[in-house]
Each structure stands twice: as structure tokens, then as C-alpha cells.
A and B are shown apart, each in its own frame.
Chain A
Amino acid sequence: MAIAIEAQGLSKRYRIGEYHGGYDTLRESLTRAAKRVGRREHHSEVHELWALDDVSFAAEEGEALGVIGRNGAGKSTLLKVLTRITSPTKGQAEIRGRVGSLLEVGTGFHPELTGRENVYLNGSILGMRQREITRKLPEIVEFAGIEAFMDTPVKRYSSGMYVRLAFSVAAHFEPEIMLVDEVLAVGDAEFQKRCMGRMEDLGQSGRTVVFVSHNMQAISQLCDRALHLEGGRLVNEGPADDVVARYLQTVGATGSERFWEDPATAPGTSVKLRSARVVNADGSPVAAVDVRETVGIEVGFTVLDRLAEPITPKIKLVDGRGDVVFNAIDTSARWRDPAEPGEYTSTAWIPGNLLNEGFVLVEVGVVSHAVTRHTHYAGFREAVSFHVQDPGEGDSARGLYTGQWKGVVRPLLEWTTEER
């Protein structure tokens, strides 16, 4: 099999702090330069970040390669380098064939131009030749289903028509290599479904596909092999199922229970963590919870010394995409005064119908109860994890709908309606 993509030691460095999030005025730059000269401190404000660090891999022609990892692991940077939007700092990659990406849907559409004119413009931007576009135009128009509006400026289109036309152009561009970033794929569920469908078609038609996603199921289903990136480095590579399984293990920590048996190595100094558990209403540990049911996060900790300030247990929930679901501390009167030395076990009860479906990572800790700042007396990231499941019986917040339900939380709200 021929190699479609071969990357050797790809690295990308970003300087943080230097650019103040993008652009600045000439005056600011000059002032900063003057300050630097004055203090003789070069690069004082510059931090380096290796978004990609020595990543090497190869993708065979016709292979579907998944890329997984947490937010900020370098997945999107990898795609940006492969699409040549940004150039690597070190390393090189060889790509055989035209590269297309589903990030580009509708890129370069001009509102004043007609549908037909935009097909030509967008097609050229994607890399199609004029005669290729002319040849495919009837198919593109038919797929989009907007024949009657092809000579209307797209600014008069409904957003649905706009997306249909844009997607139709992208779908008829037939690159040898397709790069797809699920995170950046915009649009409604219907549109995302189409993207997924398109992915499957591409895979079956013998094209090389690189697919970045947080959806582990989709990766296992659509991809032959997968790369796992962590902090810009390639930490695992192999058959998609294996890589996904290993990834879920590392992210999933030890599961729904964790104990620190030896106080000497337990997190914390004057307050030591003893245990963290995910429990159901009966107090028994669970790895998977019904979305409708209450789940408790139990934090066991020992206060060794008398403390100068009040403390409180704290939990922080992060979902499978790396987004913070919430932080919570116990604000009850019990923790108003500094805690006496002793062993404590606190449980935070999360009501049913609050969390969304999927994977949840829990950070536990003990923090000060101060007004302006939280001192962390003890803390452990990714202490425990659990899955939230919806049996789909129609009485959860999703009702009878079976598709993807977006959001960090999924509360079952009380609605009122007035009819006149």
C-alpha cells in the first residue's frame, strides 16, 4: 500500500504572552520594546508552548486515521499543519494527493454573489479546477436542492439553504485526503449527521481520512487506526479500538473509587485526602449512573492540625470534552469555623436530571473557605470518573428524541405555558 501522509517529528511552537491574544497596536509594541531595552529583560513576558512535540506517523492510502486526545492536546494544531494553514516549527510531512477538509464548508462565500457564482468561487478556493466545477455543477445544484435560487445572491438565502449549498460544494470536491475536525464542524445535528455520513462514504471510496473527534464511538466505528495525543506528544498509536480503550483507561483513572491508604503519600499537607468515591443513593459505589437518578461524590479526608481558617470539601466535574461542568463546595454552617482535627467523610449529592449523558471526570479537594481566594489544602485531579447513561424511556430531559443532545448539563426544567 502506498503512503498518503508521512509525518516525521512534526513540532509547532507558539509563543504565549508575546502577542496578547492576536494583534495589538504599534504603540503597544513600541512601548513594550522600550521597556524591554530599559530593563534589559528580553522575552520576559514570553512563554513557549509546544502545541505539537515531535509527532511522527504515517497514514496509508485509503486508511481512516482517528486522532484523539483531550482539549489542548494538539489535535487541531496537527490538522492546521497538515492543511498548511500554519507551518511547523520543526519536522516535516509529505502528503501525496489533494487535501480537503470539512472545516472549509462555506469558507469564502460572498454574500453579494449568487449561488452559482459562489459555487465557482468556493470550488476554486477548495482547490478545484474551473472545468471540474463546470462538470460537477449540475450534481452540486441537485444535491443542494435549490435549483430555483442559483441566480439569487446568497445573502437572500435562509441559513439552511446556505449550509446546504456550501456542504454540497464541499461534498463534491473529491480530494485524495480528507481532514475532518468534528469539534469545529458547525451546524445543527442534521448537518453533523451528514458530515458523519460523508465520512463513511469517503472511507468506503478508498480515500484517506484523518478524523479528529471527541466521540470515541465514532472513532472506533469509522477508523482503522488511531493516534492519541497528549500535551502535543504522540503517546499511543495502533488499531483504533485498542487506542480508544487505552485512552479511556488513562482518562478514566481507577474508575469509581480511589483510596489513599498511606497518609505519607496522600495528597495534601495539613489536610490529607483519604478516599474519593462515586456512589448511588444507597451509598454503594457505581461506575455508571442513570441520568434520572441522584449520584453522590464522596470525599474522605483527615484534618491533621488545627487550621487558622475555615475549610470546606470541594468537587469539580469535567466532561469528556474537557469542559468544566461545575465546581461545588459545601457552604453550610458546619464549615464556618476552622475544622477540628479528625477524620471526615463528606458526600456531595448531585440531583438526577442535571448532568448530560457521557463521561464525567471528578476532581476532589479541600479548600479554604475565604472570601477572595481559595487555598488548596489538598486536591487530586481525575480522582474518579463515571458514566451517565440515559435508558431513553421518555421521562428524561431528552424526551423521546434519540439523537445527540448537546450541552454540558441536561436539566429537566419545569415549564409553564399560558394559552389565550
Chain B
Amino acid sequence: MTETELKARPSAPEREAASSQPADKVERVTVIRPALRRPHLDIPELWHYRELLGRFVWRDITVRYKQTFLGVAWALLVPIFAAAVYTVVFGKFANFPAGDVPYPALVLSGVLVMQYFTSSLTGASVSLVTNMPLVTKVYFPRVLLPLASAIVPVVDFLLGLLVLVPLMLYYDTGPNGIEVVLAPVFLALAFLTALGVGLLLSTLNVRYRDVPHMLPAFLPILPLLSGVPYAIQEIPEKWQWILAFNPMTAVIAGWRWSMLGGVPPDWGQTLVGATIGVLLFVGGLTLFRTSEPRFADTI
């Protein structure tokens, strides 16, 4: 939308005298131009606004558990509760296939990633509209808002690991070996997919307030389609291939393999899921960046 250059300010002596503060010696030259039609990612500008991104993330984390009685404990209680329900209903009653991994560990590992994805996606989708006063009154790269929303639930996820790791120790399960280093890679795919779909939906939400109605219809069935209560390798192969189009299937299968051991995921399916995740991200970012200049006019 606009280009920003950083230039050293010519330090004329009279300016020194005029400014009361030892002002930062970098002057921004801003060039305001009509919005570009092609998608573009202005990395230097995003870098310039990194502190504001941090501030948004900090704000949402600080506010999240304010004026709650149990506070941060919710970050532990919610996944425990969800995992317990899954374990009883799907593990005990329905006997879902878990492969060679203890069922409660299998479910909890899936639940944690799924919850990250769900809150990240929901937060990013409504981020522009919830911050409407900012969007209509101050300039900053709008992409910071969904980006911050995708980062905030990482804290809940990390806290959730405080439950998962003891559970793994209890069931005496753990990474087979070096593949544990791939765990962050699978999580990065979840981040990228959530952000991509979040960018897409937040753009739509600026014009069409249907998005907050649509999400609750779709998100509750997502865990079932992503292999949260079962191991994807244990279901018939043709169904596996259908589910492979869902990037979260690849994320959960890969994350479980790297953290809990067991059989490795099908790499062909993983590649399909990862490609779709990346495409969603590129598509979402493109739509967002090209619509960005009109957000303040249409929101």
C-alpha cells in the first residue's frame, strides 16, 4: 500500500538546537501512493513495526485471564477436560483405534494442537473487526492484527505441554529419537494454516459479518476430521487420502510421531497436507494484502 524508506536525517546544527529531546536520528520518509494491485509483502515495513506486533500480542495475553478466578489455570483445565471426554467417549465406549500409543496421550497431544489451531483461527478471523477503532483511526500494517492473534494462543499451547509431558512420563512413552526436532516444523504448519485461513476470513469479515456465525458451525467437527480422537494410520487407506487434504491431519500425525513415537506418518499424505497449508497461507495473504487499502473505507 505504501512504501517506507529509512534515511539518515541530515543533522543540521539549528535542528539540534530546536529539538528539546535527543530525538532518534532516523527520519522516516513516507511515500503515499495508490494501492498496488499486485500482492506484496513489505518486509522492511513489517520489521519497523515489530514492537507494535509485540505490544498487540502482550495486550491480548494480559487481557485474556484478567478478572477470572482461576486465571491461567484455564489453559491447563480446558485441554484436560476435552481430553478426558474424548478418552471416555471415543477411547472407552467407541474403541477408536490408537495404534501403539497410549490413548490418553494420543488424544491430549491432538487436543492441544487442535485447540491452538481453533483459537488462532477464530482470533485472526475477527481481529480486524474487534480492533475497528484502530483500523479507522491509525495507520499500521493491518496484517499485524491477525498475526498477533495467531501468536497469542501459543502461550496456552506451551502451558498445555505442562500437562502432556507428565502424561507421557506416566505412560512411559516419548520420542523415538532425533525426529523430536521435527515437532516445531509440524507446529509451524499449523501456525501457517491458521494464519492463512485467518487472513482470508478476516478480509471477508470486513465486508460480510457472516464469518463469526460460520465458524462455530464448522470448527467443532474439525477435530474429528483431523484425527484428534484416533490415529490416522489405523483407518482405511482411502479415507486417509481424503482426510489428507486437511492440513491439520498432517500436522497432528506428524506432531504425534515426533513427540510420542510410534509409526511415522505417510509422507505422501503429509506432503499433500503441507502443500495445501502453504497454498492457503499464500492465498490468504494475497487477498488480505490487496484488500488492505480499503479496510478503513468498508469496515
Contacts and interface: CB of A to CB of B under 8 A. Distances in A.
A86 B293 contact: yes
A327 interface: no
Interface stretch (B19-27, B190-198, B261-269): B19-27
A25 interface: yes
A91 B136 CA distance: 22
A83 B27 CA distance: 16
Nearest to A87: B293
B59 interface: yes
Interface in B163-220: 204, 206-210
Interface in B55-111: 55, 59, 62-63, 66-67
Given A26-B208, A85-B139, A125 B134 contact: yes
A23 B67 contact: no
Interface stretch (B32-40, B150-158, B242-250, B272-280): B32-40
A113 B207 contact: no
A206 interface: yes
Given A117-B62, A205-B18, A107 B33 contact: no
Instruction: Give me the 9 closest cross-chain CB pairs, A-B, nearest first.
Output: A84-B139, A87-B293, A124-B55, A93-B32, A95-B30, A26-B208, A87-B35, A112-B66, A206-B18
B293 A121 contact: no
B50 to A, nearest CB: 11
B59 A121 contact: yes
A117 B60 CA distance: 12
B237 interface: no
A388 B213 CA distance: 54
Interface string B109-120: 000000000000
A35 interface: no
A376 B299 CA distance: 38
Contacts of B33: 87-88, 92
B209 A87 contact: no
Contacts of B21: 174
B133 A24 contact: no
B225 interface: no
Interface in B249-299: 293-294, 296-299
Nearest to B63: A112
A23 B298 contact: yes
A312 B31 CA distance: 56
Contacts of B299: 22-23
A104 B135 CA distance: 11
A204 to B, nearest CB: 11
A153 B63 CA distance: 11
A99 B30 contact: yes
B209 A83 contact: no
A129 B30 contact: no
B221 interface: no
A120 B55 contact: yes
Given A23-B209, A24-B208, A110-B59, A94 B136 contact: no
A90 B33 CA distance: 7
Given A23-B207, A23-B298, A95-B29, A88 B52 contact: no
Contacts of A19: 207, 297-298
6 contacts: A25-B208, A83-B139, A85-B139, A87-B34, A104-B137, A107-B133
A113 B63 contact: yes
B55 A85 contact: no
Interface string A92-120: 11111111000110011010110001001
A23 B30 contact: no
A336 interface: no
A81 B32 contact: yes
**Most A C-beta atoms less than 10 A away, residue of B28, B29, B30, B204:** B30
B209 A205 contact: no
Given A19-B298, A110-B63, 4 more contacts: A23-B298, A26-B208, A117-B62, A130-B51
Contacts of B138: 83, 85, 104, 107-108, 125-126
A90 B29 contact: no
B4 to A, nearest CB: 10
A24 B207 contact: yes
A108 B133 CA distance: 7
A89 B18 CA distance: 37
B52 A125 contact: yes
Contacts of A87: 1-2, 32-35, 293
Contacts of A84: 1-2, 30, 32, 139
B26 to A, nearest CB: 10
B130 to A, nearest CB: 11
A85 B137 contact: yes
B208 A92 contact: no
Contacts of B32: 10, 81-82, 84, 87-88, 92-95
Nearest to B206: A23
Interface in A323-370: none
A244 to B, nearest CB: 27
Interface in A6-30: 10, 14, 19, 22-26, 29
A390 interface: no
A32 interface: no
A103 B294 CA distance: 20
A381 interface: no
B208 to A, nearest CB: 4
